[in-house]
Amino acid sequence: MSKPYGVAVIGAGYWGPNLARNFRGSSAWDLVAVCDTDAVRAQRVVGPRSTVEVETDVHRLLARSDIDAVAIATPAATHAPIALAALAAGKHVVVEKPLAPTSVDASKMVRAARDAELILMIDHTYCYTPAVTYIRDVIASGLLGRLLYVESTRINLGLIQPDVDVLWDLAPHDLSILDFILPGGLTPTRVSATGSDPLGAGRACVGHLTLSLPGGGDAHINVNWLSPTKIRQMVIGGSHRTLVWDDLDPLRRVSVHDRGVDLGSPDADERHASAVSYRLGDITVPALSEKEALGSMVEEFAAAIRGDRPSRTDGIAGLRVLSVLEAADHSMAANGSPIRPRFVDTTTGDLE
Ligand SMILES: NC(=O)c1ccc[n+]([C@@H]2O[C@H](COP(=O)([O-])OP(=O)(O)OC[C@H]3O[C@@H](n4cnc5c(N)ncnc54)[C@H](O)[C@@H]3O)[C@@H](O)[C@H]2O)c1
């Protein structure tokens, strides 16, 4: 077993404590410090009588030689300057979603990490859940057949964020999941988005996003901060089978339905309608382990630094998600007109 890497968590607000807890629980890591401009928050995460240190200044933190890596859980607008400073100081970096406020900033981060031969990862948390890992494997195995459509619903009574609209707050989850499960990643040629603010909150609180899938179908994402019902559901329709993921149903989180619509060959019957048939086959519910996603994420960060395996959510994955979110912004400004996202070079992180 190699020596644990020294790590610091930067940002001790809502999400940072979850990162700190998982680094603390991993033998691959030694949590050296928690850094927040608000010392009281950092101290609360560290707890009493702890050997983990409290730090309030990022630059002082980055100058330490006992820290190999940092996890950044500060507001999105601060991600790029903190990550670039950390990379310049020779630290490996994992950043909370979104990678940066703009794809241009994110591209700079990807290039800085590559030039310094350091790991840059994004915490696309869902990609580390047993359910999403299973979905990716099922799609890759060909069991679903050709992907026809994806319907993703992520709605609940959410906090109206001061700095971002509902698409930037919630859709990164759906987009990062699509980036992970679609063979070839998230590479839509067309993105359309609409958002509404029916309460006058000052930003879109209900959003709809449609993006093209490689085989000709569409993925549709619905995000909403105003819904009293919480729904976390994704339906992935394939030419052979359909997969339903209901993240709020622990007994049947994922089900694979051998049900769908078959079209006979056009010349099998002169009348098109009579060539359509419905399959009503079995439903399979796989047994999935219950493992905290962040625990797997911190293990993968260490494995990527050791050179054991590349991270499944590297900086380029974060960049692809940003490129789609920016296209969604442009589409919203153009009343939902389709926009082609900027192309991301998946080896260099350069933008078209
Ligand atoms: N992966 C997920 O599922 C998930 C869930 C929630 C939040 N997040 C992400 O985590 C990040 C943080 O979100 P949050 O809800 O915890 O925010 P938050 O506002 O609750 O906490 C941010 C903390 O960062 C501190 N901070 C700000 N600037 C700093 C600086 N320059 N140096 C040190 N500390 C600084 C603030 O004092 C605050 O304590 C966001 O990017 C958010 O999108 C991810």
- How far the first Cα of the chain sits from its last, in Å, is 43
Same domain, 109 and 149: no
Element (H, E) at 209: strand 206-212
Same domain, 56 and 118: yes
- Separation of 78 CA from ligand 1 center, angstroms? 9
CB 59 within 8 A of CB 67: no
Q: What is the largest CA-CA distance in the chain?
A: 80
In a domain, 87, yes or no: yes
- Phi, psi angles (nearest 5°) of residue 120: -120, 120
Ligand 1 contact, 278 CB (< 6 A): no
**How many Cα atoms are found within 13 Å in the side-chain-facing hemisphere of 165?**
21
- Residue 176 belongs to domain spanning: 127-284
In a domain, 329, yes or no: no
Same domain, 107 and 33: yes
Specify the CATH number for the domain of residue 203. 3.30.360.10
In a domain, 333, yes or no: no
Identify the sign of the CA torsion 54, 59, 61, 63. negative
Same domain, 116 and 227: no
Coil vs helix vs strand at 301: helix
In a domain, 350, yes or no: no
Q: Is 237 exposed, middle or buried (0-12, 13-18, 19+ CB in 10 A)?
A: buried
In a domain, 306, yes or no: yes
CB 70 within 8 A of CB 85: no
Distance, in Å, from the CA atom of 236 to the CA atom of 150, rounded to the nearest integer, reads 5
In a domain, 150, yes or no: yes
Compute the C-alpha angle 9/291/13, nearest 5°. Answer: 25
Same domain, 180 and 109: no
- Separation of 179 CA from ligand 1 center, angstroms? 23
Same domain, 136 and 76: no
Ligand 1 contact, 170 CB (< 6 A): no
Same domain, 118 and 206: no
User: β-pairing, 5-10 with 69-72?
Assistant: parallel
Ligand 1 contact, 36 CB (< 6 A): yes
Same domain, 236 and 305: no
Coil vs helix vs strand at 293: helix
Ligand 1 contact, 76 CB (< 6 A): yes
For ligand 1, atom 27: residue with the closest CA: 74
Distance, in Å, from the CA atom of 301 to the CA atom of 121, rounded to the nearest integer, reads 7
CB 147 within 8 A of CB 336: no
pLDDT per residue of the chain (352 residues) written in tens, 0 to 9: 689 999 999 999 999 999 999 999 999 999 999 999 999 999 999 999 999 999 999 999 999 999 999 999 999 999 999 999 999 999 999 999 999 999 999 999 999 999 999 999 999 999 999 999 999 999 999 999 999 999 999 999 998 888 889 999 999 999 999 999 999 899 999 999 999 999 999 999 999 999 999 888 999 999 999 999 999 999 999 999 999 999 999 999 999 999 777 776 655 555 555 577 787 889 999 999 988 999 999 999 999 999 999 999 999 999 999 999 999 999 999 999 999 999 888 888 888 8
Give the CA dihedral 182, 188, 192, 197, nearest 10 degrees. 50
Both tokens of 312, joined, read 């499944």
| Strand blocks (E) in the chain | 5-10, 29-35, 53-55, 69-72, 92-96, 120-123, 147-157, 191-196, 206-212, 218-224, 226-238, 242-246, 254-263, 276-284
pLDDT at residue 273, rounded to an integer: 55
pLDDT at residue 269, rounded to an integer: 53
Specify the CATH number for the domain of residue 93. 3.40.50.720
Number of domains in the chain: 2
Identify the sign of the CA torsion 53, 318, 14, 22. negative
Q: Which of 21, 35, 36, 57 for a ligand 1 pocket mutation test, highest count of atoms within 8 Å of Cβ?
A: 36
Same domain, 94 and 134: no
For ligand 1, atom 25: residue with the closest CA: 11
Asked if the peptide bond before residue 98 counts as cis, ω within 30 degrees of 0, the response is yes
For ligand 1, atom 21: residue with the closest CA: 13
